[in-house]
Chain A
């Protein structure tokens, strides 16, 4: 049982004025045991919606999974009831959000919020849970945990709050951690601390991590494999080394070239023309990157490319590659 998470043909749609628009469209990938998989993309590419779909935390009545499978340790959890999901969320799969300021409840103490999840998922008494909470706070590098446990979120700095979030998310030793931009709201020196912490916990707990980020530096440092998303679809899936040394999709190449780098001096940055199409204006067929793509061919706007292997563990979805043409009968 090497696969921790397997997502197959996942489609998540949003109901806008009676019509369903897909923010995540036919996405398949897997996360192996002890692996850190990065999901990279610009805002609106569907990376957060995808993680909320896995957790089944989509806003009710607006967002819904319209197709596909989500397998966690071999079991399909798509379609689980809320009660069933509650047993998994926090215990087996847990999540860290971007905003440490808004994801903690301001009216409860730090201790209460950690104890809550411990009592929910394991058979221990309150005093035991409190001791465990203090220990968890110590493990995530919070000074004076005996005091902090009785403090409120507003008394802590952003970095400290993110540490508390991590303490909550690892309280039940989950098998899979979904971290949605865990360091985006933090300063670089604090970001370095938090990434280091996440890495050491991942090693210690044998955890798999799905790390959602837009920072390619964070990806290079943390991940084993990377998924590049654009407008709800996966455009490239490969190892970290391939991503940086052998990117194949035109979007990936441009993305890599458009970031200013501290170690390389350039006069003018590469830019990607135009902007990401909005959900409503998404092209119905063809490649979604076609309008901004410098290597677009005429058929790119009519033929939807498949995600196909172009090398060892390297998948790309682009018509520049023969294998990405849909097979006859599927067009």
Chain B
């Protein structure tokens, strides 16, 4: 191990700085760009080695776009993504391929993300074959070992995806993501397509694997109870911005941002004797193509002030490790 490895071992595995990802809106006869959907608009956060950062928000808030930009499946418009201290936003060709080994993804839909024509063995071995020269026998052993690790039987190797249930398919997807022993896994809604009894199996598996392989997770989900169960720290996104980021205890026990407060209060509590003090938000999330001036949340915010429609609040530290973007603080 050389000096540099030791340095980032201690520091953040991933650091995202002022990331912006815009989708162009094409219009008119010549398909000129007439505007931008600001899916991710100036987002900054970091993930420590071995940590799980939960990214929550409602549909369209940009959480999946953030995940995909980090994976370099989408190109960023501005900003930096530092992986082990190296900016990966501009990487091309060989160096990009190298980084792909270290960052892998688990997809939401276990039905759409596996090739129906491929045997499970070949689905899981494909990433390995891509990067390493191995004999067929040792490759097969490695794949079977991976399948065993994610709780699938050995004979799954010769089966096709359609022969498995949703939960088992998600396990196949996890085995594929693990195949190259990545450092960082972006899990985009990994359990939202699963039933509750199966969901808990997969969540437990992800936690076990994290301990065993020292994985770092960016865990994207809309279900706040699931995110709470999985994460160490949580970032709340709204309309392309992170509005609050903190340790999970602080987020759930003393949410600072009015949006986070509303979001947490909106979760139905599975206990008929507990009455929730629900904050019901008015209206819908505005379109990210035409976000409101000032704070993106102010048109729906129950505590909006005059200032909120004028200037956009920045993420400020209000307590150690707890940052909020709101003019109330």
Q: Which residues of A contact B (CB under 8 A)?
A: 42-43, 143, 157-160, 187-193, 195-196, 214-221, 240-241, 243-245, 254-256, 258-263, 266, 268-272, 275-276
Contact among A158, A221, A255 with B268 in the assembled complex (CB-CB below 8 Å):
A221
Is B134 positioned at the interface, with any CB of A under 8 Å from its CB? no
Contact among B165, B252, B273 with A262 in the assembled complex (CB-CB below 8 Å):
B252
B203, A275: Cβ atoms under 8 Å? no
A217, B201: Cβ atoms under 8 Å? no
A217, B263: Cβ atoms under 8 Å? no
List 6 additional contacts besides A192-B278, A260-B200, A269-B203; criterion CB under 8 Å. A188-B263, A217-B269, A221-B268, A221-B276, A269-B229, A275-B165
* Chain A positions within 8 Å of B225 at CB level: 259-262
B269, A263: Cβ atoms under 8 Å? yes
Top 7 closest pairs, chain A to chain B, by CB? A217-B268, A187-B58, A260-B229, A269-B200, A272-B197, A192-B266, A42-B195
Is B272 positioned at the interface, with any CB of A under 8 Å from its CB? yes
CB-CB contacts below 8 Å: B166-192 with A: 167-168
Chain A's closest residue to B205 (CB) is: A271
A260, B280: Cβ atoms under 8 Å? no
Q: Mark B261-291, 1 if CB is under 8 A from A, else 0.
A: 0111111111111101010110111000000
Q: Which residues of B contact A (CB under 8 A)?
A: 58-59, 165, 167-168, 195-201, 203-204, 207, 222, 224-226, 228-229, 252, 262-274, 276, 278, 280-281, 283-285
For this complex, 15 residue pairs linking A to B, each with C-beta atoms less than 8 Å apart, are A187-B222, A193-B280, A196-B280, A215-B268, A221-B269, A241-B272, A244-B270, A245-B273, A254-B197, A260-B229, A268-B207, A269-B200, A272-B197, A272-B200, A275-B167
* Chain B positions within 8 Å of A143 at CB level: 283
A259, B272: Cβ atoms under 8 Å? no
Contact among B58, B59, B200, B283 with A258 in the assembled complex (CB-CB below 8 Å):
B200
* Chain B positions within 8 Å of A187 at CB level: 58-59, 222, 285
Shortest CB-to-CB span from A117 to chain B, Å, is 25
Shortest CB-to-CB span from B273 to chain A, Å, is 7
Asked whether A271 and B200 contact (CB < 8 A) given A217-B269, A244-B271, A262-B224, the answer is yes
Once bound together, how far apart are the Cα atoms of A187 and B268, in whole Å?
12
* Chain A positions within 8 Å of B228 at CB level: 260, 262
Once bound together, how far apart are the Cα atoms of A163 and B268, in whole Å?
19
Once bound together, how far apart are the Cα atoms of A270 and B229, in whole Å?
13
Chain B's closest residue to A157 (CB) is: B284
* Chain B positions within 8 Å of A271 at CB level: 197, 200-201, 204
A260, B59: Cβ atoms under 8 Å? no
* Chain B positions within 8 Å of A43 at CB level: 195
Chain A's closest residue to B248 (CB) is: A265
Chain A's closest residue to B228 (CB) is: A262
Shortest CB-to-CB span from A244 to chain B, Å, is 6
B268, A220: Cβ atoms under 8 Å? yes
Which of B165, B168, B229, B268 is packed against the most chain A CB atoms within 10 Å?
A: B268
B270, A219: Cβ atoms under 8 Å? yes
* Chain A positions within 8 Å of B222 at CB level: 187-188
Main secondary structure of the interface of A (DSSP, over half): helix
A259, B263: Cβ atoms under 8 Å? no
Once bound together, how far apart are the Cα atoms of A16 and B59, in whole Å?
38
Once bound together, how far apart are the Cα atoms of A189 and B222, in whole Å?
11
Asked whether A259 and B200 contact (CB < 8 A) given A160-B284, A189-B263, A196-B280, the answer is yes
Chain B's closest residue to A226 (CB) is: B272
Contact among A254, A256, A260 with B203 in the assembled complex (CB-CB below 8 Å):
A260
Once bound together, how far apart are the Cα atoms of A330 and B108, in whole Å?
47
Once bound together, how far apart are the Cα atoms of A240 and B281, in whole Å?
27
Shortest CB-to-CB span from B171 to chain A, Å, is 12
Contact among B168, B195, B268 with A218 in the assembled complex (CB-CB below 8 Å):
B268
Once bound together, how far apart are the Cα atoms of A214 and B262, in whole Å?
23
Chain B's closest residue to A278 (CB) is: B165
Once bound together, how far apart are the Cα atoms of A143 and B283, in whole Å?
9
Once bound together, how far apart are the Cα atoms of A268 and B283, in whole Å?
37
Once bound together, how far apart are the Cα atoms of A159 and B283, in whole Å?
9
Once bound together, how far apart are the Cα atoms of A270 and B198, in whole Å?
10
Shortest CB-to-CB span from B270 to chain A, Å, is 4
* Chain A positions within 8 Å of B203 at CB level: 260, 269
Asked whether A188 and B267 contact (CB < 8 A) given A193-B280, A260-B225, the answer is yes
* Chain A positions within 8 Å of B266 at CB level: 188-189, 191-192
* Chain A positions within 8 Å of B195 at CB level: 42-43, 214, 276
B200, A190: Cβ atoms under 8 Å? no
Shortest CB-to-CB span from B299 to chain A, Å, is 12
Chain B's closest residue to A160 (CB) is: B284
Shortest CB-to-CB span from A330 to chain B, Å, is 31
Once bound together, how far apart are the Cα atoms of A167 and B46, in whole Å?
45
* Chain A positions within 8 Å of B199 at CB level: 258
A259, B269: Cβ atoms under 8 Å? no
Shortest CB-to-CB span from A183 to chain B, Å, is 9
* Chain B positions within 8 Å of A159 at CB level: 284
* Chain B positions within 8 Å of A263 at CB level: 269, 271, 274
* Chain A positions within 8 Å of B280 at CB level: 189, 192-193, 196
* Chain A positions within 8 Å of B267 at CB level: 188, 217, 262
Once bound together, how far apart are the Cα atoms of A196 and B204, in whole Å?
33
Which of B266, B274, B285 is packed against the most chain A CB atoms within 10 Å?
A: B266
Chain B's closest residue to A191 (CB) is: B266
A220, B281: Cβ atoms under 8 Å? no
A195, B262: Cβ atoms under 8 Å? no
Shortest CB-to-CB span from A227 to chain B, Å, is 16
Chain B's closest residue to A188 (CB) is: B266
Once bound together, how far apart are the Cα atoms of A8 and B276, in whole Å?
36
Chain B's closest residue to A197 (CB) is: B280
B268, A195: Cβ atoms under 8 Å? yes
Shortest CB-to-CB span from A277 to chain B, Å, is 11
A220, B271: Cβ atoms under 8 Å? yes
Once bound together, how far apart are the Cα atoms of A240 and B252, in whole Å?
26
* Chain A positions within 8 Å of B196 at CB level: 42, 214, 216, 255, 258-259
